[in-house]
Amino acid sequence: MLELPHALVGAAIATAIPDPRISLPLAFASHFITEYIPHWNPHLFTELKTLGRVSRSSLIIVTIDASLALILGTWIALRSPAPLVVLLACFLAVLPDIMEIPYFFLHWHPKFEEKLVLWQRAHQWNVPAFWGILSQLVVVAISLLLIYRLG
């Protein structure tokens, strides 16, 4: 799943449950749970294995997505009654993907990184681009609805 839906799910959790003892672990767990929602994202692992690097088009998509997640997550956090909790929830919801950055972009492949990448790859429900982007837009819309209804 792209970073924007992950971050907004984290923000929605923190908005619904402002207690960080509950919301922060849930935000982290949400990353793994939402990977089971049918979605599409660039196939960085395949590109790395076939091209030896991440393609330019995937890099552009990843950069735009991460930028949007950072901007919108921060914007939502700054407008919430508990900005630090919301910001941390956004961060924790995307943390497993952030941990993969060295693997894909710095060619750093320690065993832990490789296990994380392979686990996430094996537990994602990838579908064709149209349906996979549509499902993520639905996740974004539901998250924003929850954030602004509960906040």
Q: Nearest-CA neighbor of 119 among 135, 133, 100, 101?
A: 100
Q: How much is the pLDDT for 123?
A: 87
**Rg over CA atoms, the chain:** 15
Q: How much is the pLDDT for 151?
A: 64
pTM for the structure as a whole: 0.94
Q: How much is the pLDDT for 125?
A: 86
Per-10-residue mean pLDDT of the chain, 151 residues long, equals: 97 96 98 95 93 96 97 97 97 96 91 91 90 97 94 64
Judge residue 60's burial from the number of C-beta atoms within 10 Å of its C-beta, 0-12 exposed, 13-18 middle, 19 or more buried. Answer: exposed
Q: How much is the pLDDT for 107?
A: 87
